C-alpha cells in the first residue's frame, strides 16, 4: 500500500431507494491513494449500484459521495478524464481493430495531460502491457472472452486514470486468464499507484487482489478490513484437532497457539495427529452473509464496528 494516505474514494451514509425498496442503507467506506479495495458480496447485495453511483452513472437518494474530491453527480469532463471504468458486459466496437480503437479513445485525453501524468498511454506500450500485442490488428469481435476483457481494461486505463472501477471483472474467466488479470491489476496499483475499486462475489479474488475488503450484504456493509483482519476478528475461532490414547478431540479457540502450547505442557508426547485449522476468510464471509440474511444484520454491524475500532 502506498505511503500517501490521501482519501480518494469517500462514501458516507450512502442510501439508494428504488420506489419503496431501499437497496443501499447507510453505506460508509473510504479508499486511499494506491489502494485496491474489493466490494465483496452475494448477487443483489448492491455492489453494482454502489460502483455505478461512484462512477457518476447513477444518482443516489441520499448521503455524501466524493471521488477524487468531487461529487460524481456533478463531475465534469476533467474529472471524468481521471477515471477508468470496466463494466460487466461490453460488446461495443466489434468492427474496430484493437490498436485503432485504443488510439482513437486515447485521443480524447490529450488535452488532460499533465507533467505528473502524461496522457494518453502510448498505444503500442498499452497493447503490450495488457498482453494483446499479438492481437493488436485483430477485429475486436474476433477476440476471445479473456482477450476482450483485457481490451476493456486497456480502454479503461488508456487515459492513465487515478481511479479504476472494475465491476465483476473476471466473470467467466478460466483460471489462467484470471491469474493474468489479477497480475495486471496488482501491477497498476503497485507501479502506477492507481486506486482500484472492484466488485466481486468471488471471495478468493477479493483475498488475492485487495488490500482491503468491504463486505456488502443486502445493501449494508457488514464488514470492512484487510483479509487477515476479517478472518481474525469476526470468526476468530481456529479449530484444533488431536488424538490422545486413541481418542479424537476437537476444540475451537481464538488463541490456538497458546492452547496447543498448554496442551503439550499437559500431555507431552501423548498428543498425536495434531491439526490446527485457521479460521478461513470463507468461513467469515459465509457466516456474515448468513447472519445478515437471517435478519440479524443490525446486530452484526454493531458488533463488527466495535471490533474494528
Partner 1 sequence: MTPTTVAAWAGWRRGLIELRQSFTNGQDLFGHLFWPAAMLATIYFVGDTALDAGGLLLGTMLLPSILGMNVAFNGLLTMSQLLAVEREDGTLLRAKATPNGMLGYLVGKVVTVSGTLIAGVAIVLIPGLFLVDGLALGSLSAWLTLAWVVLLGTVASLPLGAVLGSLCSSPRSLGLIMFPIMGLAAISGIFYPITSMPEWLQWIAQAFPLYWLGLGMRSALLPDAAVAIEIGESWRHLETLGVLGAWTVFGLVVAPIVLRRMARRESGSSVAERRHKALQRIA
The span of 92-100, 126-134, 245-253, 271-279 binding partner 1 (CB under 8 A) equals: 92-100
Which H/E stretch holds residue 171? Answer: none
Q: Looking at 31, 85, 215, 260, which residue binds partner 1 (CB under 8 A)?
A: 85
**Residue 95 in contact with partner 1, rule: CB under 8 A:** yes
Q: Looking at 1, 2, 7, 87, which residue binds partner 1 (CB under 8 A)?
A: 87
Q: Residue 48 — φ and ψ, nearest 5°?
A: -65, -40
**Residue 107 in contact with partner 1, rule: CB under 8 A:** yes
**Nearer Cβ to partner 1, position 89 or 294?**
89
Strand pairing of 163-167 and 195-200? parallel
Strand pairing of 36-40 and 21-32? unpaired
Site string for partner 1, 120-159 (x = CB under 8 A): -----------------------------------xx--x
**Residue 49 in contact with partner 1, rule: CB under 8 A:** yes
**Residue 162 in contact with partner 1, rule: CB under 8 A:** no
Q: What is d(CA 162, CA 4) in angstroms, rounded to the nearest whole number?
A: 13
Q: Looking at 14, 34, 48, 219, which residue binds partner 1 (CB under 8 A)?
A: 48
Site string for partner 1, 263-302 (x = CB under 8 A): ----------------------------------------
Q: Cell 501423548, residue? A: 270
DSSP character at residue 280: P
The cell for 181 is 488479470
Q: Looking at 9, 16, 39, 105, which residue binds partner 1 (CB under 8 A)?
A: 105
Q: How far is the CB of 196 from partner 1 (least distance, A)?
A: 16
**Residue 100 in contact with partner 1, rule: CB under 8 A:** yes
DSSP character at residue 169: T
Given a contact cutoff of 8 angstroms between Cβ atoms, the answer to whether 233 and 270 are in contact is: no
Q: What is d(CA 49, CA 23) in angstroms, rounded to the nearest whole number?
A: 8
Given a contact cutoff of 8 angstroms between Cβ atoms, the answer to whether 168 and 87 are in contact is: no
Q: Say how many residues touch partner 1, by CB under 8 A.
A: 36
Q: Cell 477515471, residue? A: 83
**Residue 57 in contact with partner 1, rule: CB under 8 A:** yes
Q: From 231, 277, 272, 270, select the one nearest 251 (Cα to Cα).
A: 277
**Residue 108 in contact with partner 1, rule: CB under 8 A:** yes
Q: What is d(CA 103, CA 281) in angstroms, rounded to the nearest whole number?
A: 42
**Residue 43 in contact with partner 1, rule: CB under 8 A:** no
The cell for 204 is 478468493
The span of 10-18, 107-115, 128-136, 269-277 binding partner 1 (CB under 8 A) equals: 107-115
**Nearer Cβ to partner 1, position 77 or 115?**
77
Q: From 29, 17, 83, select the one nearest 56 (Cα to Cα).
A: 83
Q: Residue 32 — φ and ψ, nearest 5°?
A: -100, 165
**Residue 96 in contact with partner 1, rule: CB under 8 A:** yes
Q: Could you list the residues that contact partner 1 (CB under 8 A)? A: 48-49, 51-52, 55, 57-58, 77-78, 80-81, 83, 85, 87-96, 100, 104-105, 107-112, 155-156, 159, 167
Amino acid at each position: 500500500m502506498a505511503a500517501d494516505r490521501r482519501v480518494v474514494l469517500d462514501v458516507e451514509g450512502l442510501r439508494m431507494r428504488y420506489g419503496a425498496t431501499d437497496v443501499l442503507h447507510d453505506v460508509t467506506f473510504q479508499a486511499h491513494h494506491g489502494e485496491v479495495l474489493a466490494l465483496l458480496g452475494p448477487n443483489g447485495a448492491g455492489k453494482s449500484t454502489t460502483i455505478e453511483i461512484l462512477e457518476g452513472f447513477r444518482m443516489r437518494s441520499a448521503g455524501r459521495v466524493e471521488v477524487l474530491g468531487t461529487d460524481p453527480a456533478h463531475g465534469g469532463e476533467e474529472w471524468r478524464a481521471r477515471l477508468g471504468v470496466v463494466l460487466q458486459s461490453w460488446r461495443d466496437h466489434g468492427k474496430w481493430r484493437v490498436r485503432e480503437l485504443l488510439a482513437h479513445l486515447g485521443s480524447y485525453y490529450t488535452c488532460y495531460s499533465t507533467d505528473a501524468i502524461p496522457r494518453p498511454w502510448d498505444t503500442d506500450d498499452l497493447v503490450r502491457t495488457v498482453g494483446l500485442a499479438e492481437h493488436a490488428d485483430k477485429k475486436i469481435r474476433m477476440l476471445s472472452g479473456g482477450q476482450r476483457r483485457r481490451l476493456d481494461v486497456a480502454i479503461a486505463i488508456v487515459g492513465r486514470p487515478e481511479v479504476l472501477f472494475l465491476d465483476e471483472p473476471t466473470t467467466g474467466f478460466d483460471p489462467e486468464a484470471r491469474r493474468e488479470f489479477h497480475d495486471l491489476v496488482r501491477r497498476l496499483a503497485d507501479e502506477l499507484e492507481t486506486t482500484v475499486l472492484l466488485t466481486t462475489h468471488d471471495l478468493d479474488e477479493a483475498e488475492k487482489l485487495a488490500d482491503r475488503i468491504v463486505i456488502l450484504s443486502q445493501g449494508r456493509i457488514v464488514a470492512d478490513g484487510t483479509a487477515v483482519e476479517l478472518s481474525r476478528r469476526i470468526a476468530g475461532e481456529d479449530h484444533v484437532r488431536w488424538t490422545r490414547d486413541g481418542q479424537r478431540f476437537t476444540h475451537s479457540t481464538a488463541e490456538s497457539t497458546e492452547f496447543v502450547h498448554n496442551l503439550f505442557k499437559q500431555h507431552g508426547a501423548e498428543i498425536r495427529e495434531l491439526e490446527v485449522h485457521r479460521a478461513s476468510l470463507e468461513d467469515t464471509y459465509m457466516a456474515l452473509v448468513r447472519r445478515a440474511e437471517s435478519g440479524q444484520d443490525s446486530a452484526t454491524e454493531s458488533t463488527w464496528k466495535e471490533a474494528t475500532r
